[in-house]
């Protein structure tokens, strides 16, 4: 799973160094796809930045120099829909009607000014989105015929005594007189033992 990271290019004078550090850290970072766009309120319907945003349909992190509520409203205004999802730098977003199933992780760069902490959180979010599957190869459901054969083998093993070893004298395993070695007797014995357990 890859996490698109959308960095809005309208830093205040005090945020230029942070923006440069973030760009330097994000370019080529495995699993994080950096997209730089102009101010959200300046994007026309035919702008390249608007078309770039339309191509992002998965969960995304959006970094801007405005508070998360205003950023969310600005994204909705340009039809970049999703719902504001909690993370360590926006731990308690308000509950809102979900217009989309896409998760949006919003960062206010006026509040979150440590590039290392931001990168750690972006990596954590990327890892949390990864779907981990375990493949169990070589296991196939048993067929009815295989189940029947297996059942018959177990039944035969229960009802037939093992052959005597040639080095050990054979023991007479014949049942007492009046007792047959039928499956019915074995079933009756098992039923009787089950009743005793109760």
Structural domain of residue 24, as residue ranges?
3-129
The whole-number pLDDT of residue 183 equals 61
pLDDT level of residue 184 (50, 70, 90 thresholds): low
Return the higher-pLDDT residue of 128 and 166. Answer: 128
Residue 194 placed within a domain: no
Q: Is the confidence at residue 135, as pLDDT, over 50?
A: yes
Structure tokens at 118: 């931001």
Q: How many domains does the chain have?
A: 1
Q: What is the CATH number of the domain that holds 40?
A: 3.40.50
179: phi then psi, degrees, rounded to nearest 5: -115, 125
**How high is the pLDDT of residue 158?**
46
Mean pLDDT of 12-27: 94
Average of pLDDT values for 102-110? 95
Decide if 163 is inside a domain. no
d(CA 129, CA 172): 68
C-alpha Rg value of the chain to the nearest Å: 34
Q: Is residue 181 part of a domain?
A: no
Is 77 a member of any domain?
Answer: yes
Of the given ranges (32-46, 55-69, 155-169), which has the lowest mean pLDDT?
A: 155-169
Instruction: Give a yes or no: residue 15 inside a domain.
Output: yes
Per this entry, what is the length of the chain? 198
In a domain? residue 179? no
Q: What is the mean pLDDT of the chain?
A: 79
Q: Is residue 140 part of a domain?
A: no
Which range is least confidently modeled, 60-74, 90-104, 120-134, 170-184?
170-184
Kindly tell me the number of DSSP H helices and DSSP E strands found in the chain.
6, 5
Per-residue pLDDT averaged across 135-161, rounded? 50
């Amino acid at each position: 799973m890859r996490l698109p990271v959308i960095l809005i290019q309208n830093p205040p004078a005090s945020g230029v160094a942070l923006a440069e550090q973030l760009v330097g850290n994000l370019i080529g970072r495995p699993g994080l796809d950096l997209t730089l766009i102009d101010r959200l309120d300046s994007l026309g319907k035919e702008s390249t930045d608007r078309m770039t945003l339309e191509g992002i349909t998965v969960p995304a992190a959006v970094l801007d120099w405005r508070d998360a509520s205003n950023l969310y409203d600005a994204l909705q205004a340009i039809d970049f829909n999703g719902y504001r999802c909690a993370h360590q730098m926006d731990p308690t977003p308000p509950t809102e009607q979900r217009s989309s199933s896409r998760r949006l992780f919003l960062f206010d760069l006026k509040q979150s000014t440590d590039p290392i902490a931001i990168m750690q959180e972006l990596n954590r979010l990327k890892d949390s989105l990864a779907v981990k599957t375990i493949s169990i190869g070589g296991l196939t459901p048993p067929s009815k015929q295989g189940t029947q054969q297996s059942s018959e083998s177990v039944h035969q093993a229960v009802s037939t005594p093992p052959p005597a070893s040639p080095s050990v004298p054979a023991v007479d395993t014949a049942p007492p007189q009046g007792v047959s070695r039928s499956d019915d007797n074995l079933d009756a014995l098992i039923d009787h033992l089950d009743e005793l357990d109760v």
